[in-house]
Chains A and B, each alone.
Chain A
Amino acid sequence: MKEIKKVEINAKVLAANQLVANKLREDFALQGTLVVNLISSPGSGKTSLLECCIPLLEEFRVGVLEGDIATERDTDRIRRLGVPAHQILTGGACHLDARLVGAELEKAGMKGLDLLFIENVGNLICPSSYDLGEDFKVALLSVTEGDDKPFKYPGIFSRASVSVISKSDLLPHVDFDLDTVQNQILTLNPLAQIFVTSAREGQGVEEWCRFLERKLATKRQPAAT
C-alpha cells in the first residue's frame, strides 16, 4: 500500500550545526573566551594579521585553530610566536563546521583561553554559512583583491560584524578605493566595524588589538541586572 505524505517542517537546514555551535558558545561564555572566526580568500593575510597582533596581546592567553585543506604551515608560523596552535586539516572540505571545531578543540586540549582565533579555510563563500560558536566573524579583504569584492561576496560581508582591509601598504600601487569598499561593506551591514591594516608596516594593528581587548572586557562584564 502506497500513500504520499506531506510534512511541513520549517526548520533551518543547518539546525544541527547550530545546536553544536550554541553549545560551544555556552562553553566559551563560561570560560570567558572571546572567539573570533577569521574568513577570507586564500592569501588575504589572515595568518599575517595574527602574526603581527599576537605579540601585542601578550598579557592574554591566546590560542589559534588553523583550518586548512593541507599542510601545517600556518600552525608552524603561529607556534613560533610561542602560543598554542592546532591545525585542523579538512582533507579537501572548503569550510569548518561547529562539530569539527568542538572535536578539534578537545583534541588540542585548548581551554581557559582569553582569546581564541579560528582561522577558517581560505574561502570567501562556503565558511560564511557556518556558525562556529564565535563571538563574531571577521572578513578580511586585501587591497590587491579589488574594491568590488564586498558586493560580489555579499554573504560574508553581510554576516561579518568586522571587516579588515589588509595590505594597506600596497594602496599606492593598486586601484583600490577605500571609500568605495567602506560604502559597500556598510550597505551590506550598517553596523560593521572596519579596520585598515598592514601586517608589514603595522598600520591599524594596534587599533585592532585594542578593539579585541574591548570586546573581551565587554564579554566578561557581569550581565546588567
Chain B
Amino acid sequence: MDMAMAILSVLLTAYAGMAGLCVAMDRHARQLRQRPWSLPVRRCWQALGSLFLGLALFFCLRHWGVSVGLVCWPGFLSVAALALVGGWAYRPRLAAGLALLAPALLPGLLWLAG
C-alpha cells in the first residue's frame, strides 16, 4: 500500500508538473482558451509546473532513497509526459483537468509521505 501510494503521488505530481509547463505554451494555451497568456502569467505556469516536477522528485527520493529515486524520477516524468501528450491530443480539457488532481490531493499525499 505504501508503494502504491508512492507511485500514485509521483505520477500525479509529475503529470501536474508536465501539464503546467504544457499549458504555459502559446500553442497549448490556445487549445484551452482563445488567447495566449500574458508573460507574467506564463512565467507563473512555468514556475508552478517546475514546482510540481520538484515535488515528484521529493516523493521519489522519499520512497526510493537517493540512488534509486534519482533513476525513477526521469522514468516517471517520461511516463507522465507520454500520458499527458496522448490525452491532450484528443481531449485537451480533460487532460488539463486531470492535472488538478495533484494540487487537490497534495496535502493528503504529503501527510501520508510523512
Q: Do A and B bind each other?
A: no
List chain B positions with a Cβ less than 8 A from chain A. Answer: none
List chain A positions with a Cβ less than 8 A from chain B. Answer: none
